[in-house]
Amino acid sequence: MGNIKMIHTDPERRRYQRFSAAPDTIVLNSARFGQVINMSLGGLRVKYILRPTEAFPDAFEIAILNKAGNHFVEDLPCRVVSVHDASPFNPRLNLFTRTAGLEFINLTSRQGEQLVSFMAANSRGHA
C-alpha cells in the first residue's frame, strides 16, 4: 500500500469571513491607535504599540479609517477577545507591539452597513 497522509483540519469557528486590511488602515479610540491586520463583520485583529503594563478596557468604542481612500467609520462598540504580546518595539523606551482581537458588539444596522462598505473599499483577499 502507498503512503496515505491524514490531514486533520479544524472547522472554522468564526461566524464571518476575514479579509486582510489595506496597509494604511488604522484603528483608534480615545487612548491609542494601531494598525488593522485583518477584519470581518465580527471584528478586527489589530497591532498596537504599548507599554507592558498597559491594558485594554473591557469594552470601548473604536473608529477605523483608511487615509488613502478617505474612508472612516466611527463609534463601533467592541470588546477585547484576545491579546498576544509580540516583539519589543523600542526596549529603551519600554514599548512593545501587541496584537489584539476585537469583537464588535451590538452593532446597529447602520453601523453594519457602514462596516460592509468600509471593508469592500479597504480589504483584499482572505486573511
Q: Which string of DSSP letters, residue by residue, matches 40-68?
A: ETTEEEEEEEE-TT----SEEEEEEEETT
What is the pLDDT confidence band of residue 8, given thresholds at 50, 70 and 90? Answer: very low
pLDDT at position 7 over 60: no
Beta bridge partners of 84: 99
Query: Which CATH fold would you assign to the domain 19-121?
Result: Thrombin, subunit H (2.40.10)
What is the pLDDT confidence band of residue 49, given thresholds at 50, 70 and 90? Answer: confident
- Please report which helix (H) or strand (E) contains residue 120, including its range: helix 109-122
pLDDT at position 100 over 80: yes
What contacts 29, CB < 8 A, 6 or more positions away? Answer: 60, 61, 62, 63
Q: Say whether 112 sits in a helix, a strand or coil.
A: helix
Cβ atoms within 10 Å of 93's Cβ, excluding its own: 10
